[in-house]
Amino acid sequence: MAIHPIEFRYGTDEMKYVWSEKNRLDKLLLTEAALAKAEADVGLIPKEAARIIEKSIDKVELERVKTIEDEIHHDMMAVVLSISEKCENDADKWVHFGATSNDILDTATGLQMKDAISVLETKVHILLDVLLDQAEGHKQTVCAGRTHGQIGVPTTYGLRFAIWASEVARHIERLEQLKPRVQVGQMTGAVGTQAAFGPKGIEIQKHAMEYLGLGAVDVSNQIIQRDRHAEFVMWMANTVTTLDKIAVEIRSLQRSELAEVEESFGKNQVGSSTMPHKRNPIKSEQICGLARIVRSMIEPELLNNTLWDERDLTNSSCERVVFPESCVLTDHIIKLGIGVIKNLRFNHDNIRRNLELLRGLNMGEAVMIELAKRGVGRQEAHEIVRRSAMEAHEMGTHLKDVLLSRDDVTQYLSEDDINQLVDPDRYIGTAVEQVEALVVKLKK
């Protein structure tokens, strides 16, 4: 019986597989085999034993491991015994030789995180491309800029998407930087001294990680230190927060009063069980809701780094929830975001309507700057335009009409000057150039 929404509602098959019981067991078995081969390399165990152990892991079945665990109540020892019972010629006595449970458990987690990062990295690059496409496609789509929820000077949709693309590009850079800190394993023994491995402990760890394609810790105690994993969880929280921000903006712009953009809406899609007309931004809302869950994983994972002495077990149960949930939901959110952004619908009539909604009041800065350039002091120009704007607002007329009625304006600006200054299409600065430069930079 499915209980958690991840089981039936959220997440991709590829990310769910990374954190599945089957894949977890496979990673544990691969780690045990790598340990045996590394120990054989340095002469700690017979090479034939390592060969048999490696061959035996293919015969281990998940159900058998779970049956043993039910009997002995130790997950790692259940894996060890499952391998051992498949070994021939006394090779079983060399399984897990010199290792502590978390040498295998944490190294397997390193392998899973490597797989998870690969899945996320692919999608986040797609997300970047989609944002860049929208930035380039709408670099000249002039719209109302807004601060404090109020209409300000014009901007462009292209610049909005470029800002988000730049942020996602930084997430990609951060992900690349954290890989060597997260994709690691260890073979350090009971409290990190490698005493059970003897003088070849460092060499054993090096060989084992090379077999697995992981980095090796420099030093550790019984577990890999959780600052590494916390960094990855915080990366996921940071990334989904960017998508949360984008989704909030889409939801705002889809409001009936604005209606500048909207999520794609299927032919047979239902918006409300009682209001047939509704076209709700449900995917953007889902992004915002699930992002809260991913962010909530930061605190428990940070606390998983504050263990007693060489270790305790408080991190273990917590991470069985934190790692799969944060990875599955982050992957799901990125996939949702790609679809929403790629398929956005733009209502250009409403974009223009909102841009001109204030009847020129939002172009006050342009008028002020030009007056200052023509000899009016900046502060005096600001006061002239402020008073003109307040008068236009009270009278419900266009700003240019008030400006044309003022001698302190017309002595500096002609009617043609004023008409050009209140034209929003003429006041987007270097927005187009900024977008074009970013697209060139990030599409290299």
CB atoms within 10 A of CB 259: 16
Tell me how far apart the alpha carbons of residues 432 and 380 are, in angstroms, rounded to a whole number.
Answer: 31
| Partners of 146 in beta bridges | 151
Q: Which of 148, 256, 273, 277 is catalytic?
A: 148
Active site annotation includes 74: no
- Rounded to the nearest 10 degrees, the angle between the axes of helix 227-254 and helix 314-342 is 30
403 within 8 A of 367, measured Cβ to Cβ:
yes
All domains of the chain, ordered by start, with CATH?
Answer: 20-97 (1.10.275.10), 100-195+212-263+278-357+429-444 (1.20.200.10), 361-421 (1.10.40.30)
pLDDT along the chain (444 residues), means of 10: 90 97 98 98 97 96 96 96 95 96 97 98 98 98 96 97 98 98 97 95 98 97 95 98 98 95 78 68 95 97 93 91 97 98 96 96 95 94 94 94 94 95 96 98 90
Complete DSSP assignment for 141-190: -EEEEEETTEEEEEEEHHHHHHHHHHHHHHHHHHHHHHHHHHSEE----S
* Structure-token match 């002039």, residue found: 142
Complete DSSP assignment for 26-84: HHHHHHHHHHHHHHHHTTSS-HHHHHHHHHHGGG--HHHHHHHHHHH--HHHHHHHHHH
49 within 8 A of 92, measured Cβ to Cβ:
no
pLDDT at 266: 66
Active site annotation includes 272: yes
Q: What angle (nearest 5°) sits at the alpha carbon of residue 173, between those of residues 18 and 245?
A: 80
Tell me how far apart the alpha carbons of residues 56 and 190 are, in angstroms, rounded to a whole number.
Answer: 25
Tell me how far apart the alpha carbons of residues 168 and 127 are, in angstroms, rounded to a whole number.
Answer: 8
Kindly give, in sequence order, each residue whose CB lies less than 8 Å from that of residue 6, ignoring residues fewer than 6 positions away. Answer: 16, 324, 325, 328, 329
Strands 184-185 and 150-156: unpaired
Question: Rounded to two decimals, what is the model's pTM?
Answer: 0.94
Q: Which of 118, 272, 405, 414 is catalytic?
A: 272
Distance of CA 344 to CAs 29, 59, 222, Å?
Answer: 46, 50, 50
Q: What is the largest CA-CA distance in the chain?
A: 104
Tell me how far apart the alpha carbons of residues 186 and 104 are, in angstroms, rounded to a whole number.
Answer: 8
User: Phi/psi at 85 (nearest 5 deg)?
Assistant: -70, -10
* Structure-token match 């470029």, residue found: 162
Tell me how far apart the alpha carbons of residues 340 and 254 are, in angstroms, rounded to a whole number.
Answer: 12
Complete DSSP assignment for 395-421: HT--HHHHHHT-HHHHTT--HHHHHHH
pLDDT at 426: 96
Burial class (CB in 10 A: 0-12, 13-18, 19+), 238: middle
pLDDT at 159: 98
pLDDT at 281: 86
